[in-house]
Structure 1
């Protein structure tokens, strides 16, 4: 294949696609806004699913390295209410449940390091993409341009490549999550570790949650059903840790101190307010020659079903597989999108259903029923 391929965005989907292509002798360049691999927070822990994320890592030749970096006990699940009462406390069985947990930053590092030096052009922010006589032209923030026969938009929710395919933009879901962290929990925060455990934990009540993933570093979020402009209108100074702590504790008035102490003890350098956006469930577009989308650029969804990263990974693997299997790039893109669209729609619907189960009046009745198997097929 002599096609000049440009992948915009060094997230999970773009990286796994580049890895599989490069592993099979296809040259590719990844353009990334960040100046270095560690320039930006990568979020918390991910559970990688057998039928999507793990398949992609197998095809990338990275499965064993991935498994070596997963968390022991990471598949534990604990569900609480605002009083601290534990309703569900499931321990990871021997051999796991097929969804091992790994830090997002660790998984991204594995993918970055799997590529040949120079594959990723760091600090290259794409600000515009335009059709050219052959392929597309990418314009960068520094004013430079480049051309590619195939442009793959893997540049997240606010993709600069998506407008080539559709004018649709993400909408606010009604939920804002403030991401926090407690590092070195065993030594510094044993009480927090006792309530969070080693796996996934959720405390749900009254359209709010405190939850995330426990372990040596407790990476968690405070999720609230609030207006879209809450971050700016809350009165919280997001640059001052004490203001953040006090403001969030006020939002969780009436919650058990064992839960709000997670907020009071949060690390100074790991606070990230994040309004949650999503593209419409079932979004599709007409085939446009020489361009397609992966991951959040194609189907950003809320994180409340644990599907986003897994769908991103299998997107990247599927696109690479189609490109490798066909001389005709357009046929490959059409086949990739034909499989991606229904898969993304199903995952987005599950994510919306998860949001609707979590953010309700009163306690976590719907989530308890889900974990106990009542209506489990609907999430």
Structure 2
């Protein structure tokens, strides 16, 4: 009378390492059997199975904000797209011309170049999950689910001076006319670049297309650098309702916290409350001068007290202990501990998950 699906992924964490996680999807309970504990039972079994497989955390996307906090999941990444008024943007601001070339690409090319390119990019930003083969098949029309209509996007790749693909964009144009005048919107479906040169070249291409007056990027990192490329950045507007994206549930704290790299050396003792017992206890995080972390249990005095959901907000660097303290979600047991936590957990880029599952 319910469904629950677990997908094995790996999750990028600050520093570029990959953490084995379970992605939870297709959760449902038939209306006639609601309020009987089925979701709770499925979730408990799913998390136990993940622990048994050695997956250090669970991730999901939540349609309703308040549902999964009761199971220890918390927002760990945010997304928020933007729209560009092409005429108001006045093209790119002055900058290097670049030494590479743009080439049209087929969906076969996207399947060939995309996976390696994406894997290179996601190591630089925490919060991304791996893209299995079925993801690329769906993106390129090789696999279309029943009831879906597939419209092939346009694809363009950027090759650097050495001939290596360092950028890829796919997009669709709606072909709209208003009062007999072209008024098209271009919607970016994927944009992957490994260098600023590739990013600049692909945006120059998008901004140069005839009849396109608006460019929509429905899902972008909170700190996406593309708006900074425009001659007039006021031409960029956020799309409505930027929101939380990936929810994270920690299952193995020593593994999860040791996987990432930290911004500075230091020591922090956390008193973590977890009613389900996965990460409950008092944990010492010791960070060495090289940014590597080591987590052990301890009987020593705690510096910060928080629950498992709150710790998940901090884990990828997308939230600050100071803000959580202000909301009453973190208790500072030693003066300055929130500042210490923020110095340790800080990430150079905002965590972002470009995929839904």
Shared fold per TM-score greater than 0.5: no
Structure in which a larger fraction of residues adopt strand: 2
TM category, shorter: under 0.3
Query: What TM-score comes out, normalization by structure 1 length?
Result: 0.24
Query: What TM-score comes out, normalization by structure 2 length?
Result: 0.25
Structure in which a larger fraction of residues adopt helix: 1
